């Protein structure tokens, strides 16, 4: 039963965050690229001021899967890196926290481009 | 008699149909929510293994990215995204799709100057601003001893 | 020699349409004009490894077909005048390279079909040219790649967005011959910019230019819309067409009524083909002119028409720099004698 509740929480919070994105696209005519930048920066800021952490505790993947969660992970990772390495951590932290996401996307992009081609619509 | 830019702007706005916001939002909620629930399901499944929480989160992210890459390669992702809108764009799937689709599109300009160079045309700003904001945050907490 | 009245040029030699041909892609081939196109190539890659090369082959196919229909041989052609949307007009230059004929590249964005017709008409009027080809092309995939997002990018198109036509049109114009269809007047348009910034709403950006060109032409010639069997605009789509009619009524007091038709609304079935506000691109007005319109004239369905191809003269750079979208519209008055 707990599992179902967890899944529902993730569904509701994740879907809710997506609605915010949809409203921005439909109403402000912001290009998707700008919306994504806004989301990741918002994630870093909310993570930094400690607002995003409780949301992650509550919704799990519902909060970590959207790009705001990516931003939150950057803030969290950077904080840990600063705690461990001092000022150097402010430089090394962001990229190391983003490394899994970026590398997975880069590798899959490279592999896929070896065998697939874009198709006409 | 000549119309002013402002007047024409209002006229164009009046005659331009708006996006179906309510339908868009419902679809974004359902698709986005489903992706997040799927990710949560993976996290829960991995919690029964010997993986640490960090490892299971990383693996979940990798799986979502890999699925996105496959759907993009087969030309299915954009068909789903046409309906899902922000529902597929805001989760990590949108980030992965933007990298994979650029890699695919520009392969005709070569592996190095096409695929590799253009991979980050859409995702680049996300990384630049995300990481720079995080670095700024790191600097602030270092200077004020907040860590 | 041709004469001018206001901004309108009245031809003297009356360049004749001796042949025309259209080559389109799969989606266009599934649309309402399906039976009227000369060639429908289902495989929009045309067997090539890039969309740019594929676009050139559509152009080449349309020109070759028009040439074959004209009964002329390649050596009879004095010049080819063509343009497209791709940077530095590579669609045209690579498509025409193998013909080994004099080439005049023109850029008028989606207004190119009318622009190349205007240029070739003037060339014939000089007396130095006998047979000329006017052509244009566009390809959905190469246009998306250059102006919008990679094809496999997952995004939504707003309802005002238009669908770039994969296709090409070519007209063989000549001093003599043909089956009675000729160019009576041409009118090169003036750039109009009423401050539209949204590159997903090209119809709105181009409508003022279409209005200006049509209004200027009607006043130069002292005619009214009902004097024509049809007034075809290039690719205003649903939003641009409504704006054109409203602007025309509001500013000039002219009712375009049922005479006005838009190629962008004719080429696709908007209900079933998911093209939002309609078709666009050089190939939109190009392929509709070189199928439905000119064959309608040959058959006598239309005897006096205005063809106004509209173009949005922005680039990705000017849009990123926050510049508004300037529009242009060139007009060709075809008549059947």
Task: Judge contact between C121 and C186, C-beta under 8 A.
Answer: yes
| pLDDT score, position C257 | 85
Q: What is the largest CA-CA distance in chain B?
A: 77
Dihedral sign (CA B101, B106, B108, B112): negative
Structural domain containing residue C214:
181-336
Q: Which residues from A are below 8 Å from B139, CB to CB?
A: 87, 90
Q: Judge whether C183 and C117 are in contact, CB under 8 Å.
A: yes
A85-102 residue pLDDT tens: 999 999 999 999 999 999
User: What number is the average pLDDT over the span A51-73?
Assistant: 97
Per-residue pLDDT of chain C in tens (337 residues, 90 and over written 9): 899 999 999 999 999 999 999 999 999 999 999 999 999 999 999 999 999 999 999 999 999 999 999 999 999 999 999 999 999 999 999 999 999 999 999 999 999 999 999 999 999 999 999 999 999 999 999 999 999 999 999 999 999 999 999 999 999 999 999 999 999 999 999 999 999 999 999 999 999 999 999 999 999 999 999 999 999 999 999 999 999 999 999 999 999 989 999 999 999 999 999 999 999 999 999 999 999 999 999 999 999 999 999 999 999 999 999 999 999 999 999 999 8
* pLDDT single digits (tens) B112-130: 999 999 999 999 999 999 9
C157 and C302 part of one domain? no
Whether residues C170 and C229 share a domain: the answer is no
Q: Characterize the bridge pairing of strands C304-312 and C327-336.
A: antiparallel
Ramachandran angles phi, psi of C262, nearest 5°? -125, 125
Check whether B17 has a pLDDT greater than 70: yes
How many separate domains does chain A show? 1
| Set of chain A residues whose Cβ sits within 8 Å of the Cβ of C150 | 118
Chain B residue with minimum CA distance to A16: B29
Q: Is A91 within the bounds of a domain?
A: yes
- When scoring B4, B11, B12 by the number of chain C Cβ atoms within 10 A, the one with the most, hence best to mutate, is B12
Cβ separation C141–A25 shorter than 8 A: no
CA C161, CA A40: separation in Å to the nearest integer? 27
Between chain A and chain B, how many beta carbons pairs sit less than 8 Å apart? Answer: 276
Clarify whether residues C142 and C206 are in a common domain: no
From A29, A32, A118, residue closest to C152, measured CB to CB = A118
Residue corresponding to tokens 């081939």: C29
B16 has a chain C CB within 8 A of its CB: yes
Residue at A121 is within a domain: no
- Rounded Cα distance between C83 and B20, Å, is 37
Q: Is C223 in the same domain as C293?
A: yes
> How far does the CA of residue C151 sit from the closest CA of chain B (Å)?
7
Q: C 93-152 residues with CB below 8 A of B?
A: 145, 149-152
CA closest to C196 among chain B residues:
B9
A26 → chain C, closest CA residue:
C158
- Rounded to the nearest 10 degrees, how much is the dihedral formed by the CA atoms of C245, C251, C254, C255? 30
Q: Which of A69, A90, A105 to mutate to test the interface with B (most CBs of B within 10 A)?
A: A105
Query: Span B22-28, mean pLDDT?
Result: 98
A39, burial (CB in 10 Å: exposed 0-12, middle 13-18, buried 19+):
buried
Is B14 touching C (CB cutoff 8 A)? no
Minimal Cβ distance to A21: which of B34, B86, B115: B86
Distance from CA of A105 to the nearest CA of B (A): 5
Per-window interface: C 216-245 vs B, CB < 8 A: 239, 242-243
Check CB contact of A12 with chain B, cutoff 8 Å.
yes
CA distance C117 to chain A (A): 30
Secondary structure (DSSP) of C170-186:
EEEEESS-SSSEEEEEE
First to last CA, chain B: 66
The answer to whether residues C153 and C185 belong to one domain is no
Once rounded to an integer, what is the mean pLDDT over residues A66-83?
A: 97
Residue A71 has pLDDT above 90, yes or no: yes
Could you give the number of structural domains in chain C?
2
pLDDT of residue B1: 56
Collect all residues of chain C within an 8 Å Cβ-Cβ radius of residue B117: none
B129: CB partners within 8 A, 6+ apart? A37, A40, A41
Please, which chains are in contact with C (at least 3 CB pairs closer than 8 A)?
A, B
d(CA C79, CA C84): 17
Interface contact flag, A19 B29, Cβ < 8 Å: yes
Minimal CA separation from C142 to chain A, in Å: 10
Strand residue runs (E) in chain B: none
pLDDT of the residue at B146: 85
The pair of structure tokens assigned to A39 is 């989301």
Are C132 and C245 found together in one domain?
no
Domain interval for residue A14 = 2-115
C12 and C157, same domain (yes or no): yes
C188 and C131 fall within a common domain: no
C103 contacts C93 by C-beta, under 8 angstroms = yes
Backbone angles phi, psi at C233, to 5 degrees: -95, 160
- Complete DSSP assignment for chain A: -HHHHHHHHHHHHHHHHHHHHHHHHHHH---HHHHHHHHHHHHHHHHHTTSHHHHHHHHTHHHHSBHHHHHHHHHHHHHHHHHHHTHHHHHHHHHHHHHHHHHHHHHHHHHHHHH------
Rounded mean pLDDT of A9-35? 94
Per-residue buried b or exposed e for C54-70, using 16+ beta carbons within 10 Å of the residue's own CB: bbbbbbbbbbbbbbeeb
Nearest Cβ partner of B21 from A26, A44, A66? A26
Whether B71 has a pLDDT exceeding 80, the answer reads: yes
A60 within a domain of the structure (yes/no): yes
Domain assignment present for A33:
yes
Q: Do A120 and C155 touch (CB under 8 A)?
A: no
Q: Where are the beta strands (DSSP E) in chain C?
A: 3-5, 8-10, 16-24, 39-40, 79-83, 103-105, 131-138, 163-164, 167-174, 181-187, 230-233, 260-262, 279-280, 304-312, 327-336
Annotated domain spans of chain B: 5-144
For residue C53, what is the domain's CATH number? Answer: 3.40.47.40
Distance between B86 CA and the closest CA of chain A, angstroms: 5
């Amino acid at each position: 039963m707990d599992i179902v509740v967890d899944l529902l929480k993730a569904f509701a919070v994740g879907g809710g965050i997506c609605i915010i994105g949809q409203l921005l696209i439909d109403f402000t005519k912001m290009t998707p690229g700008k919306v994504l930048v806004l989301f990741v920066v918002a994630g870093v800021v909310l993570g930094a001021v400690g607002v995003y952490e409780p949301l992650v505790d509550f919704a799990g993947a519902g909060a970590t899967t959207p790009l705001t969660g990516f931003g939150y992970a950057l803030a969290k990772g950077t904080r840990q890196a600063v705690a461990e390495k001092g000022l150097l951590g402010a430089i090394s932290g962001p990229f190391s926290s983003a490394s899994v996401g970026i590398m997975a996307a880069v590798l899959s992009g490279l592999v896929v481009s070896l065998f697939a081609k874009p198709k006409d619509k | 008699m000549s119309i002013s830019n402002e007047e024409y702007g209002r006229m164009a706005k009046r005659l331009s149909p708006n996006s179906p916001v309510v339908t868009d939002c419902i679809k974004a909620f359902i698709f986005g929510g489903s992706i997040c629930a799927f990710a949560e399901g993976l996290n829960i499944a991995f919690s029964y293994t010997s993986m640490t929480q960090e490892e299971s989160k990383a693996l979940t992210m990798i799986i979502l990215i890999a699925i996105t890459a496959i759907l993009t390669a087969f030309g299915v992702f954009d068909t789903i995204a046409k309906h899902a809108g922000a529902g597929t764009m805001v989760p990590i799937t949108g980030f992965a799709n933007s990298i994979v689709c650029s890699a695919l599109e520009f392969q005709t300009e070569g592996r190095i100057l096409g695929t590799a160079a253009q991979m980050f045309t859409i995702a680049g700003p996300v990384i630049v601003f995300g990481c720079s904001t995080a670095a700024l945050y790191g600097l602030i907490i270092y200077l004020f001893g907040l860590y | 020699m041709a004469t001018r009245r206001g901004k309108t040029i009245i031809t003297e030699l009356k360049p004749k349409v001796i042949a025309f041909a259209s080559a389109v892609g799969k989606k266009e081939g599934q649309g309402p004009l399906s039976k009227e196109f000369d060639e429908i190539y289902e495989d929009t890659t045309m067997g090539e490894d890039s969309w740019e090369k594929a676009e050139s082959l559509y152009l080449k196919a349309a020109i070759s077909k028009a040439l074959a229909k004209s009964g002329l041989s390649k050596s009879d052609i004095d010049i080819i005048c063509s343009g497209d949307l791709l940077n530095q007009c590579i669609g045209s230059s690579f498509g025409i390279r193998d013909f080994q004929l004099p080439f005049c590249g023109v850029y008028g964005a989606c207004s190119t079909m009318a622009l190349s017709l205007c240029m070739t008409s003037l060339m014939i009027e000089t007396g130095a040219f006998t047979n000329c080809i006017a052509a244009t092309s566009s390809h959905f995939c190469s246009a998306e790649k250059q102006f919008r997002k990679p094809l496999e990018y997952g995004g939504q198109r707003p309802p005002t967005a238009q669908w770039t036509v994969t296709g090409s049109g070519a007209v063989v114009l000549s001093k003599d011959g043909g089956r009675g269809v000729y160019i009576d007047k041409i009118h090169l348009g003036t750039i109009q910019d009423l401050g539209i910034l949204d590159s997903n709403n090209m119809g709105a950006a181009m409508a003022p230019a279409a209005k200006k060109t049509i209004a200027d032409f009607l006043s130069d010639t002292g005619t009214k819309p009902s004097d024509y069997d049809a007034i075809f605009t290039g690719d205003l789509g649903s939003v641009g067409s409504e704006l054109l009619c409203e602007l025309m009524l509001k500013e000039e007091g002219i009712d375009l009524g049922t005479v006005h038709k838009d190629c962008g609304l004719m080429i696709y079935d908007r209900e079933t083909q998911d093209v939002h506000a309609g078709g666009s691109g050089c190939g939109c007005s190009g392929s509709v002119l070189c199928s439905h319109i000119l064959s309608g004239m040959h058959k006598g369905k239309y005897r006096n028409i205005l063809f106004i191809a509209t173009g949005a003269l922005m680039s990705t750079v000017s849009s990123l720099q926050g510049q508004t979208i300037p529009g242009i519209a060139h007009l060709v008055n075809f008549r059947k004698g």
